[in-house]
Amino acid sequence: MTVLLPFIVNAGLNFVLGLLVALFLGPEAFGLYAIGAAIVVLVNTALLDWLRLSVVRFYSARSRERDPGIRATLDLLFAGVGLSLCALLAAALVAGVETGLPMTLLAVAVAGGVGSGWFDFHGAVARARFLDAAYARLVLVRGSAALLLMVGGAWWTGNPVVVLFGGVLSTVVSVLAVRRRLADGGGGFAAARAELARGFARYGLPLVAGNAVYSLIPLLNRAVLAERFGFAEAGYFSLASDIGLRLFPVFASMLEILLLREVIRLDETRGRAAAHRRIARNMVTVLAVILPVALGFWLALPAFERVFVPASFRGHFADYMVLLLPGFAAIALFQAAVYPVFLLDRRTLVASFAALAGLAVNLAIGFVWPGSATPETIAIAQSAAFVTGFAVTAVMALRLLPVWPSLREIGCVVLAAAVMALAVWPLRDSLPSLPELLLQLALGATIYAGVILACDVGRWRSGLKLRWLARRARRR
């Protein structure tokens, strides 16, 4: 529960953060901010995320004692990549390279990418060593500081650069708050080894190449919308995109942390076959969480927009969100359900091919297809790109797995979601906004959980019954 709570709180903070920044910046300034935020994600993903993935796969409390060179090599690689990136940025600033964006925005966005990678790296270290309290502190300090500094900067100045800089500061503060707890005493950089660095690169870079392409797609689409239709239209699109890309990956990361570390532990203690069986069971669990979240978001979208979305974004937000939701669900399913197959078997090149297929779909629909010069088509293109990447990797993952997830349980999840939709749909636009939203959430969650437990998906009903019987026996 200690590792789960920060994700729940962080999801709420991210949700509030995005809406408040949009409220104080307005559509046009938010469009410029969103392009900078997409650069932050791209820099982190393309240049630093392979080190986080290497921590997840190769570093643990056990390996920390057995081979201190693993952490030393990872630390040295991060320092080298981060300093090299800062040097390249400084050279570009001195040379006066023209990017079409304010240079201050670009500089802060690149710094934000390095800071975000630093945060993710230390978060992976904490999770790998099961330091749940340290991880909770890292996440909560960053979320609280970001809410204060970024929203405060948006309210005080209305300047996207100030808002992005607030994000950089919040990241630095959060890592410094736990850095001593997460440090290793294995001899520092002197223990680093070249063969380990090459192994990390061979493992992580193919996955990062795929993730970088996925990060490039939203940046490309926002830039095109800004160029063709203005920063305000890019802002409308970006608010819906940012809310989805904040919330759904948070759900996926939460599931990944809870489920993947058990897979790694099984692989170390009971062998690869046991780990594969757990991954197959986990796929049903992930679907049982992501499907009702996506469907419920769509069902409650009118009330959600009226309650939470700033007035200047209403109408545009819902129109874009409807088109983008399938892609958000696909990204979450890919990250939490399919990704572990390739992480475990170290067949990471598949993710790159899938991402390139998604990029090709995005370009074909958004820029080549007849009549593609509309904002709505750009949203369809992004959603289709993410769905394509998920479909390609899902097919490959099922080919690699010796055991498939239970088709019966998948059918029960789909049935539960359908029953939930039939119950909630009549409530749309039937009540004042807040009561309608609360009733939709309560009714939908109750009906969905009831069907899931009735079908005993994941043996959750059996598990609850056993816990109740055990507690009853202890009372006697």
Q: Is the dihedral of CA 142, 147, 153, 159 positive or negative?
A: positive
pLDDT of 193 over the 60 cut: yes
Which of 274 and 232 is assigned the larger pLDDT? 232
Which of 97 and 154 is assigned the larger pLDDT? 154
Estimate the crossing angle of helix 375-400 against helix 194-229, to 10 degrees.
150
The predicted model scores a pTM of 0.81
Take residue 215 and report the two structure tokens written for it: 């990060």
pLDDT for the residue numbered 3: 58
pLDDT for the residue numbered 397: 85
Indicate the pLDDT class of residue 476, thresholds 50, 70 and 90: low
Take residue 35 and report the two structure tokens written for it: 């392009």
Indicate the pLDDT class of residue 187, thresholds 50, 70 and 90: low
Highest averaged pLDDT of the listed ranges 79-93, 119-133, 390-404, 442-456: 442-456
- Mind listing the pLDDT tens digit for each residue in 242-291? 888 888 887 887 787 777 777 777 776 777 778 888 888 888 889 999 99
| Calpha distance 259→127 (Å, rounded) | 12
pLDDT for the residue numbered 468: 76
Task: Show me where the domains of the chain are located.
Answer: 1-192, 229-405, 406-476
When pLDDT is averaged across residues 355-382 and rounded to a whole number, the result is 84
| Calpha distance 406→399 (Å, rounded) | 15
- Mind listing the pLDDT tens digit for each residue in 82-121? 888 888 878 877 777 666 678 888 889 999 999 998 998 8
- Mind listing the pLDDT tens digit for each residue in 20-67? 999 999 998 998 998 898 889 888 888 888 888 788 778 776 777 777
When pLDDT is averaged across residues 299-307 and rounded to a whole number, the result is 93
Instruction: Supply the DSSP symbol for 471.
Output: H
| Residue 314, helix vs strand vs coil | coil
